[in-house]
Structure 1
Amino acid sequence: MINSNSRSVAALVALLVATAMPAFAQPPASPAVPAAAVTSDAGVSGTAGSSRDAARARRKANRQLVKRVAAVLARTRGLDSSRILIRAADGTVTLSGTVPDNMQIPLAVNAAQQVAGVTVLRNQLRIGMRME
């Protein structure tokens, strides 16, 4: 009995580690602004402000795209989207996380591709069981 439980715990820990590792291996969501791009030169200050405004607008557009994709996934019949993570960067949407079975991956991919503003879809979904 104890040996069986310890094997189950070991398998569960291995599964959790295996599913968590890809999340830590991801590149940063947005590239860092190089130090040379930020200057105190009076002639460039207008450019720095407008690039800051452009960055804000880009982040806002990315957040709105994530919300639209999440809404579509939540409304997709037969899809459990509760463990799907969505990232967006300038029209490129990445779906990651887990779904209960392999039939739900194409449901999520097809639904997300139909959202206005999605230009590239990266599928990093995995099949996983719900921990309760």
Structure 2
Amino acid sequence: MKSIQVIVLGVSTLIVAASMNAGSQTGQTASTPGASAMAAPGATSPANGKKADRALRRKVYAAIGQHKEISAGNISVIARDGAVTLHGTVTDASQIDEVAEIAKGVPGVTSVINKLTVQKPFGGT
């Protein structure tokens, strides 16, 4: 059982690392001399918004990962401007609401759309 937990933790770590790397590659912009920013004071640029969304997504994943009874490997989290959408499967129906409550408790989350379903057993219909 411990080896499965180690594998799940390793895979989760790789997913987070890959998403951070992919995000940083797409968010890079070239700076040209003499170019000026036209953003209004206090406004966030799209790059800053994406960075905040990725950070919130990581926080939600971390919060879910702290609950060992939940298999987070089949859950995906999408964050946009504080709104979080949960997709994927859980092993028990009671975990659907539990995961949503965990996500709502993360600072910065303004709303949660829960699209989780219960995973059907292999060979089941």
Identity %: 32
User: 1:86 touches 1:93 (CA, 8 Å); kept in 2?
Assistant: yes
- SS of the equivalent of 2:76 reads strand
Which structure 2 segments of 5+ residues have no match?
1-35
Which structure 1 segments of 5+ residues have no match?
1-44
1:43-91 CA distance string (max 9 Å, x none): xx632xx38x710000000000000000000102421111000000000
What is the TM-score with the length of structure 2 in the denominator? 0.61
Alpha-carbon distance between aligned partners in 2 of 1:122 and 1:94, rounded to the nearest angstrom: 5
Mark the CA change 1:80 to 1:130 in structure 2 (over 3 Å): closer, same or farther: farther
1:82-126 CA distance string (max 9 Å, x none): 100000000000001111120111110111110000001000101
Structure 1 residue aligned with 2:60: 69
Matched, 1:106 2:83: no
TM-fit CA distance, 1:129: 3.2
Alpha-carbon distance between aligned partners in 1 of 2:67 and 2:98, rounded to the nearest angstrom: 8
What is the TM-score with the length of structure 1 in the denominator? 0.58
Alpha-carbon distance between aligned partners in 1 of 2:94 and 2:57, rounded to the nearest angstrom: 23
**4+ long deviations beyond 2 Å:** none
Structure 2 residue aligned with 1:117: 108
- SS of the equivalent of 2:89 reads strand
Q: CA RMSD in A?
A: 1.9
Number of residue-to-residue matches in the alignment: 84
Structure 2 residue aligned with 1:57: 48
